[in-house]
């Protein structure tokens, strides 16, 4: 590809770029003409072939990927990718020093509630050590705004609905959730001490094309295609605030350029804000549905019935999520809008195409 002389917008680092949300965020940013660098360690938590397929969609070929080397996309001249683990300080710091990013969107993390129960060490390294390295790199390199992924799981034992960022969230029930809550506290400290603007986004059950195979919609679709049983926990009575990927990305993009400012000490302080340049938002559809209904919509979209195995509530799972997005709507001017029916239809269309399933 010939080197383009086109002047692009600000430079953005997207960590977790080979992941589900990272894939979609990179797509949106490059199309909006930002200068984008993607970073991922491409670990084997789930099928690495799916991760490489996502990268290939962005013009990054597997054969060209080597540790710590920046690769130019053969599809977009405003996108480059590097394989780096954020828990390793040296390579990460060198990247920051060389690239002079304006914004950082940190999506790199070890996900999964249930996996954290049996594999805690991975979460400590990626979600705590790795995030501390991101904060330090941002602090020392003049980053204008750090946006990072948090999760609805931080609400844990909270029962007041809808779940609000203005309420305390001090009782997580999985290590995954605890590390994400720790990220919010760590970010606040850096915002206060070093005047680093940070915004945490509590995502609510994200789904859509190119999603993670460990998520319910992916596992259910695969089981239905193969005529296998799906495991329905809490007998299908759990409620989830399913949020389509396009709504998540729209929220991230709008938040990224809305940089928090230091506030006067006289202003009212909630858990989601501070006198520091710090903010927390929920991004959720605010339309929670029972898992039973979710499966019903999935069956309708696939035109095939599921074989269900009903089971009790699993350790680490919460009974209900429901996002209060009043602050997001009021301050950012955005509220997720894509219905579950529309979102599932889009996911199934992608799934059948990607896995060559008969329609």
CB 182 within 8 A of CB 169: no
Helices (H), the chain: 20-31, 48-57, 89-99, 113-118, 120-123, 130-140, 175-194, 216-225, 245-256, 291-302, 326-327, 340-354
Would you state the structure tokens that stand for residue 302, as one six-digit string? 């696939």
CA distances from 243 to 148, 249, 343 (A): 17, 11, 8
Would you state the structure tokens that stand for residue 204, as one six-digit string? 């609510």
Query: How many Cβ atoms sit within 10 Å of the Cβ of residue 18?
Result: 26
**282: three-class secondary structure by DSSP:** strand
Would you state the structure tokens that stand for residue 142, as one six-digit string? 């003049």
Instruction: Report the C-alpha gap between 25 and 11 in whole angstroms.
Output: 14
Instruction: Report the C-alpha gap between 231 and 283 in whole angstroms.
Output: 27
Active site residues: 176
């Amino acid at each position: 590809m010939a080197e383009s002389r086109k002047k692009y917008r600000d430079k953005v680092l997207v960590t977790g770029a080979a992941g589900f949300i990272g894939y979609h965020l990179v797509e949106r940013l490059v199309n909006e003409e930002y200068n984008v660098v993607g970073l991922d360690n491409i670990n084997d938590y789930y099928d690495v072939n799916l991760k490489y397929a996502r990268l290939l969609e962005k013009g990054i070929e597997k054969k060209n990927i080597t540790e710590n080397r920046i690769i130019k996309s053969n599809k977009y001249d405003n996108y480059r990718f590097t394989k780096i683990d954020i828990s390793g300080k040296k390579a990460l710091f060198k990247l920051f020093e060389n690239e002079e990013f304006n914004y950082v969107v940190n999506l790199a993390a070890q996900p999964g509630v249930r996996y954290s129960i049996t594999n805690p060490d991975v979460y400590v390294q990626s979600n705590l050590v790795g995030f501390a390295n991101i904060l330090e790199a941002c602090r020392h390199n003049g980053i204008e705004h750090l946006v990072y992924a948090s999760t609805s799981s931080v609400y844990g034992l909270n029962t007041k609905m809808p779940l609000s960022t203005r309420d305390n969230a001090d009782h997580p029930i999985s290590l995954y959730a605890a590390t994400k809550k720790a990220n919010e506290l760590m970010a606040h400290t850096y915002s206060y001490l070093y005047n680093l603007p940070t915004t945490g986004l509590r995502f609510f059950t994200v789904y859509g094309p190119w999603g993670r195979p460990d998520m319910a919609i992916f596992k259910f679709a695969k089981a239905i295609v193969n005529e296998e049983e799906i495991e329905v926990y809490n007998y299908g009575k759990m409620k989830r605030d399913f949020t389509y990927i396009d709504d998540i990305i729209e929220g991230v993009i709008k938040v990224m350029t809305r940089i928090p400012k230091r506030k006067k000490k006289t202003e009212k302080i909630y858990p989601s804000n501070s006198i520091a340049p710090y903010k927390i938002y929920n991004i959720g559809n605010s339309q929670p549905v029972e898992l039973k209904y979710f499966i019903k919509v999935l069956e309708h979209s696939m035109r095939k019935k599921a074989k269900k195995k009903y089971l009790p509530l699993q350790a680490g799972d919460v009974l209900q999520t429901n996002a209060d997005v009043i602050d997001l709507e009021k301050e950012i001017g955005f509220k997720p809008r894509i219905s579950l029916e529309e979102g599932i239809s889009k996911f199934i269309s992608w799934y059948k195409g990607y896995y060559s399933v008969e329609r």
